Structure formats: C-alpha cells, structure tokens
C-alpha cells in the first residue's frame, strides 16, 4: 500500500511558487462558501511516520485558510481529565460544527497502531478497534461530515535521513527526540501494522490518501489540492438522501410487546417504603464514598412515558448524595449549537468524570423514540441509531463507566389521572403541556417504538431495567435498589 509513496515524488520550487497562490485563493473561496451555507463540517485527519512533513503541511493549511474557521488539535497523550473518560471522548468533544473545519494532528488511529506495535494490544484488540473506527467514521459521514484522511509516508531510508538532517541542524534538533529514534527502531513493525490498519479502514466513504513526504513542496501542495477538490465537489454536489434498503422492523403478529408484559399492580406500603427508602439511600451514599468508586463513574438514563415519575425517582437518588457528586442533565429539543454537531455530541460532552454520577432525564434514546414517532428525523437516521447507541454504550462500559438504564411504565388510565392532577395543582402545572396531550394520542406508536428500543439496545453490557411505575413508591425503591446493586457489583 505504501509502494507508490516511495517513488521519489517531488515538484520544483518554481512550480510550487506558481501554483500556490491559485490554490490558496481557491481554498479561501471554498471555505467562505461553506461558511455562507453551513451544511456540513470538514474533518481532516493527519497521521503518518515521524519527519514526513505533517507539521509543515498542517501549518500551511492554517496559513492558507481563514484560521478563525479552522481549528487544529494536536493529539498527544491524554490529559488527566481525558483519562477519566472513554478514549474517544477527547475526539468527540473537539469535532467541528457545520460550516467549520477541524484538523486532528494525530487521531483515533494512534492508540490502536501504537498499542499493537508495542505489544499492549493483540490482534483481536486491533480488529475490534478497527471495526469501531469504521463505524464511527461511517456515523460522521451519515451525519453529513466530509472526512479527509491523510497518511504521510517515508521509506525507512528516507526517514532515517530526514531525522539525521533534523538532528544536525541546531534550529531543528528539538524535532528529532530520543522517543522519535526509539520509534524508528520499530519502523518495520509500524509499517506492517499501519498498512493493515489503513487497508481495513480505507472505505468508499472515508478513503485514505497516502502522501510521500520526502519533498515538502510536493506533499503540502498535494494535500492542499486534495482538500480543495473535496470541498469544491461537496459544495457543488450535496449528498443525496440516504435510504435504507432493508426490511422494516416487524410488528408482532399477536401484537404483544415487551412493555405489555409488566405487572403494573405492584405496590409497596407506605411504612415499608419509608424503611426501604432510608436503607437504599444510605447504601447509595456509602457506595459513592467507597474508595473504588473514585476510579469509576456512573451514568443513569431515565426514559419512560410522560408522567411516569422520572423526576421523582431522580430526586430520590440525588437526595442521598452530595450535590458535588452528581449532575442532572435534562434533555429537551436541541439548540442551534447542538444541531450544528453530530446528534450524539450534546450527550458526549456531559459524560461524568471519575467519582461522579451523571443522570440523564431523557437521553440519546430520543432519536428512536420521539424523533422516530414524530418524524423529526428520517427513517435511515433512527434505524442506524440503534447501532450507534450500542457502540457508544459499549465504549462507556469498557472505559469503566457504570451504565444503568431505566424505562418507567404506567397505564394509559394512570397517565390520564396524573395529567389531570397536574392541571389542578398550581405548583405542578408547569409539568403538563399541549405536547403531552398530543403525545398521549400516539400512545400505541410510542409503545411500539419503546419496545423496539428495549429489544435492540438492551445489551449484556448495558441492559434496560423496566420499572413498573403505576405505584410511585414501588418505582422509586426499584430504581434506587437497581442503581445500588449495579454500582456494588462493579466495585
């Protein structure tokens, strides 16, 4: 895969000087055209061997384009804060908004390649990471992003010469470190692993462009022209609507859904409730003070029918904790800023650090619930969301996050009673809106969507706990007990 990048590609300085102004002007025009109609973001990955001109090319792109609308992220070792989150978190939160460009100097490919070369990862780990990367990049493309991936290559001899030359020059000696020379000692292993990774991740949606880095004028102008061409083509030909060609989700022929199987007659006497509440709130408080939890975090997701008691259950959790130990994130319609990012971005940025709990009152499941039912997004968008959500939650669990998901269910009759109660009690009126009444008319659609959601996202790593919420006291104790047991098991 690298042979074509070892042919000695070069262009004369005279040619570079002649072509550079034209490319630079056209890049700016394309960038401003994207700003005027911000339909998609541009994600540029810059990876490759040391000394192959990556830094110089990134500097050139920043010089030739308006730096106010292109941000470069030098991705080195994770910071202390980043290490307290899933490995992809530091990339998720830096993705550019629509109309903007982001350069990742070092990317999500670093850890898999370095880990395999250094023996920290085995072949299975590498293949699992590759599959996850392919799905992540497909998600970016499905969300509308233009993803450009550049691999800067040098032959072994060319890299050795480049590093030797850098070391001889007092002005550039700092760029040839002991770590660089140590990595050079693994050149053959890096080449083999990198070639395999590039081959497996160069897809029709996000292909790799391998650029020879022996001549700086050649590699800089090659990358600049490729960015320009990709931008111009995308601006001239917006992506067509993506369609799903598979069969639609089936409806049970007997019309029996998983939510219908819950026993809503379950209750708990008030006296027992008070005792159980004190017991489980006390246990939760102790678990959060446990030494082991300081290197873990927890995430509780609350979904359910309107008026099912999510807020009351959440308050019984937070009442047991110090306010510094948790964040409650109520999810409503996305803001303009959030709509300019991938769908999951507004949830990615609220992930808890070690020692903390994040409680989502509604969550990323909105895409397969309200957005599906109300047709706020296309069928392809909510159909692919099942896979994207499972990927996301798998990464959370693998990074040490304790994920607990609750679906609270009540009957239609109980919902109507609670709606009327809210209308009649002054301090509860804010809880009932016209949307609640309108959603109630689509009860069956929501039951079907919720049943599909539970079936397709209830995994071994992140299972759903279905809560019979007809009796609020019963629901609150079940939520507290489930959360305590999940944290205790993880510790």
Give the residue with greater pLDDT, 152 vs 162: 152
Tens-digit pLDDT profile for residues 183-236: 889 899 999 999 999 999 999 999 999 999 989 999 999 999 999 999 999 999
pLDDT band at 50 (very low <50, low <70, confident <90, very high): confident
Percent with pLDDT over 90 in the chain: 78
Q: What is the pLDDT of residue 82?
A: 94
Q: Which CATH number fits domain 3-236: 3.10.129.10, 3.40.50.300, 1.10.760.10, 3.30.1360.120?
A: 3.40.50.300
Contact 43, 136 (CB under 8 A): no
Asked if residue 35 has pLDDT above 80, the reply is yes
Average confidence (pLDDT) over 277-298: 96
| pLDDT at residue 1 is higher than 90 | no
Which pLDDT tens digit goes with each residue over 359-410?
999 999 999 999 999 999 988 899 999 999 999 999 999 999 999 999 999 9
pLDDT score of 451? 94
3-state SS string over the chain?
CCHHHHCCCCCCHHHHHHHHHHHHHHHHHHHHHHHHCCCCCEEEEEEECCCCCHHHHHHHHHHHCCHHHEEEEECCCCCHHHHCCCCCHHHHCCCCCCCCEEEEECCCCHHHHHHHHCCCCCHHHHHHHHHHHHHHHHHHHHCCCEEEEEEEECCHHHHHHHHHHHHHCCCCHHHCCHHHHHHHCCHHHHHHHHHHHHHHHCCCCCCEEEEECCCHHHHHHHHHHHHHHHHHHHHHCCCCCCCCCCCCCCCCCCCCCHHHHCCCCCCCCHHHHHHHHHHHHHHHHHHHHCHHHHHCEEEEEEEECCCCCHHHHHHHHHCCCCHHHEEEEECCCCCHHHHCCCCCHHHHCCCCCCCCEEEEECCHHHHHCHHHHCCCCCHHHHHHHHHHHHHHHHHHHHCCEEEEEEEEECCHHHHHHHHHHHHHCHHHHHHCCHHHHHHHCCHHHHHHHHHHHHHHHCCCCCCEEEEECCCHHHHHHHHHHHHHHHHHHHC
pLDDT band at residue 243 using 50, 70 and 90 as cut-offs? low
Averaged pLDDT of the chain? 92
Average pLDDT over residues 150-157: 92
pLDDT tens-place string over residues 108-143: 999 999 999 999 999 999 999 999 999 999 999 999
**How sure is the predictor about 426, in pLDDT bands with cuts at 50, 70 and 90?**
confident
pLDDT at 240 > cutoff 80: no
Q: Superfamily for 258-490?
A: P-loop containing nucleotide triphosphate hydrolases (3.40.50.300)
Provide CB contacts within 8 A for 468, sequence distance 6+.
262, 263, 264, 266, 409, 474, 475, 478
Please report the pLDDT score of residue 175 as a whole number.
77
- Give yes or no for residue 42 having a pLDDT over 80: yes
Give the model's pLDDT for residue 3. Answer: 84
pLDDT band at residue 247 using 50, 70 and 90 as cut-offs: low
Q: Is the pLDDT of residue 245 over 70?
A: no
Confidence class for position 242, pLDDT limits 50, 70, 90? low
pLDDT for residue 438: 82
Mean pLDDT within 167-180: 82
Give the per-residue pLDDT at 478: 98
Q: What is the mean pLDDT of residues 50-55?
A: 87
CA 161, distance to chain mean position in Å, is 40
Distance CA 444, CA 252 (A): 13
Phi, psi torsion values for 280, nearest 5 degrees:
-75, -30
> Same CATH fold, 258-490 and 3-236?
yes
Q: What is the pLDDT of residue 253?
A: 65
pLDDT tens by residue, 439-478: 889 999 999 999 999 999 999 999 999 999 999 999 999 9
Residues whose CB falls within 8 Å of the CB of residue 461, separated by 6 or more in sequence, listed in order: 393, 394, 397, 398, 403
Contact 158, 166 (CB under 8 A): no
pLDDT band at 270 (very low <50, low <70, confident <90, very high): very high
Domain boundaries, the chain: 3-236, 258-490
pLDDT reading at 84 higher than 80: yes
């Amino acid at each position: 895969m690298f042979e074509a990048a070892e042919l000695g590609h070069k262009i004369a300085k005279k040619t570079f000087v002649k072509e550079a102004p034209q490319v630079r002007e056209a890049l700016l025009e394309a960038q401003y055209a994207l700003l005027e109609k911000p339909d998609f973001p541009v994600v540029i990955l810059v990876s490759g061997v040391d000394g192959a001109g990556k830094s110089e090319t990134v500097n050139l792109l920043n010089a030739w384009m308006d730096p106010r609308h292109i941000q470069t992220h030098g991705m080195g070792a994770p910071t202390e804060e980043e290490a307290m989150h899933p490995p992809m978190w530091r990339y998720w939160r830096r993705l550019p908004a629509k109309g903007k460009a982001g350069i990742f100097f070092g990317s999500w490919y670093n850890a898999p390649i370095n880990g395999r070369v250094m023996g920290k990862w085995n072949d299975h780990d590498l293949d699992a990471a590759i599959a996850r990367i392919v799905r992540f990049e497909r998600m970016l493309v499905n969300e509308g992003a233009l993803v450009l991936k550049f691999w800067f290559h040098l032959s072994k001899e060319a890299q050795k010469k480049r590093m030797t030359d850098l070391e001889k020059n007092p002005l550039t000696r700092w760029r040839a470190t002991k770590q660089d020379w140590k990595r050079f000692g693994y050149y053959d292993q890096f080449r083999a692993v990198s070639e395999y990774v590039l081959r497996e991740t160069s897809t029709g949606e996000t292909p790799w462009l391998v650029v020879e880095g022996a001549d700086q004028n050649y590699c800089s102008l090659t990358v600049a022209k490729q960015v320009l061409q990709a931008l111009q083509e995308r601006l001239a030909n917006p992506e067509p609507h993506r369609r799903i060609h598979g069969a639609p989700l089936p409806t049970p022929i007997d019309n029996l859904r998983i939510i219908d199987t819950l026993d809503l007659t379950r209750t708990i006497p008030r006296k027992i409730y008070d005792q159980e509440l004190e017991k489980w709130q006390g246990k939760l408080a102790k678990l959060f003070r446990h030494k082991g939890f300081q290197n873990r975090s927890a995430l509780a997701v609350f979904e359910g029918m309107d008026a099912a008691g999510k807020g009351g259950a959440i308050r019984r959790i937070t009442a047991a904790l110090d306010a510094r130990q948790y964040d409650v994130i109520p999810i409503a319609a996305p803001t303009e800023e959030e709509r300019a990012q991938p769908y999951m971005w507004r949830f990615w940025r609220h992930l808890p650090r070690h020692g903390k709990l994040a409680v989502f009152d509604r969550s990323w499941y909105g895409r397969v619930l309200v957005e599906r039912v109300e047709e706020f997004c296309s069928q392809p968008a909510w159909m692919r969301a099942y896979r994207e959500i499972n990927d996301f939650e798998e990464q959370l669990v693998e990074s040490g996050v304790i994920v607990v998901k609750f679906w609270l269910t009540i009957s239609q009759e109980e919902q109507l009673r609670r709606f009327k109660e809210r209308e009649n009690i002054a301090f509860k009126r804010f809880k009932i809106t016209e949307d609640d009444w309108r959603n109630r008319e689509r009860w069956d659609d929501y039951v079907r969507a919720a049943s599909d959601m539970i079936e397709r996202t209830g995994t071994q790593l992140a299972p759903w706990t279905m809560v019979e919420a007809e009796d609020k006291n019963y629901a609150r104790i079940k939520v507290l007990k489930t959360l305590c047991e999940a944290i205790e098991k993880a510790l």
